[in-house]
Amino acid sequence: MLAATACLSAAISLPTLAGPEEQAAQMHSRLTGVKPSVSVLTEMAEHIANGNATSAAQLAMENDSFYNVTLKNLVTPWTNRDGDNFAPLNDYTATVIGMVRDDVDFREILSGDIIYTGASGLGLPAYNNADNDHYEALEAAGYPLQTTLERQVQSSVTGLPSDATAGVMTTRGGAKAFFYAGTNRAMFRFTLMNHMCRDLEQVHDTSRPPDRIRQDVSRSPGGDSRVFQNNCIGCHSGMDPLAQAFAYYNYEYDVENDPTGEDGRLAYNRSGETDPTTGTRVQAKNHINSATFPYGFVIPDDKWDNYWREGPNLHLGWSEALPGTGNGAKSMGQELANSQAFAQCQVTKVFEQVCLRAPEDSTDRNRISSITDSFTSNGYKLKQVYADTAVYCAGE
């Protein structure tokens, strides 16, 4: 009797391999959030049975819900400081979704002169630098984003100089969230979090020189200089030289009548323009609280340098093909997007979304590594990352 019970327990614990139809159903559900039609399920199962599971995943991604639900749920938290998954569609979100649909090199998310709007002829309000009406109307109408997003040149749509465009960082949605008030460090911090999967604590390095830390950072917080030496310097010594790339940008809005900046717009000081407060192209916001430590660094321009190319953050995998220095947000975005950390971050986010879990063991980590290698070697196409990940998790 005991032997029979042991045999039964062993049988129950054995893993059951899902068949082609079960794998197809799960793959479709994970990629779109909805069940496939009978015809699509049958076709996907046939692909899987014939050893072509990738084609099955690609077929699932033809469903509108992959764009309207799955991709939108991935991207929307990136567009606001609270990580709100229910924030309205905007130009940041639409641009990422459009780039995935069109297999655009995903590195351009942080540097491209690119933006996606609703297609003409839909009866939408025109794109406006000072409101989000165009995208809110597109979302309210329930149009399938797969067929209604239109790629455009960002500088032509927004009027920003082409060399000042930096993908989603210079969209109105990005500016409203991260150039709003403050000193523009938020744009750098949230870009680091959303696109390199690191917050400042994970790149903390007290070994970098503090020569570019601005005047608004106290060297003796609470009267104790050890706090600066052991904590503040660890973030600011690397962040401030990189965030200097945003020196000419601001998000302008009526502070008194529109405190949340709903009707604000991205502002950029072009060549020849001078800020009355700084006497240079540098926005006045970069000089606030200058009396905190008058001997601190005063930003003269938008030249950035990556101090993290040395020290412990070397492991982020910076591209040897780039110089690690430059001017403006576009080249700084290229620096971030060409790192190994950027590529691995995208793959890990997709893995967690599609597999409904974080990587758990060496098998998962090895698979993420191989998908990352494929991602970087084949044009940084995020849609392929979704397909590869869905195939890996299909039998769970």
According to the model, what pLDDT value does residue 7 have? Answer: 41
pLDDT of residue 17: 56
Sorted by where each begins, the domain ranges of the chain are 18-62+341-393, 179-332
**Each residue's pLDDT tens digit, 21-71:** 999 999 999 999 999 999 999 999 999 999 999 999 999 999 999 999 999
Quote the CA–CA distance of 389 and 366 in Å, as a whole number.
Answer: 12
How high is the mean pLDDT in each 10-residue block of the chain (396 residues)?
41 54 96 97 97 98 98 98 97 98 98 98 97 98 98 98 98 98 97 98 97 97 94 97 98 97 98 97 97 98 98 98 98 98 98 97 97 98 98 88
261 and 253 Cβ atoms separated by less than 8 Å: yes
CA distance 94 to 157: 14
- Going by the DSSP 8-state scheme, the letter that residue 180 receives in this structure is S
pLDDT for the residue numbered 356: 97
What pLDDT does 9 receive? 37
Q: What does pTM read for this prediction?
A: 0.94
Strand-pairing partners, residue 214, are 297
Which helix (H) or strand (E) segment holds residue 304: the answer is strand 303-305
Give the H/E segment covering residue 266: strand 265-268
Helix, coil or strand: residue 92:
helix
Amino acid at 108: E
Contact 27, 391 (CB under 8 A): yes
pLDDT tens, 285-320?
A: 999 999 999 999 999 999 999 999 999 999 999 999
56: burial class by Cβ within 10 Å (0-12, 13-18, 19+)? buried
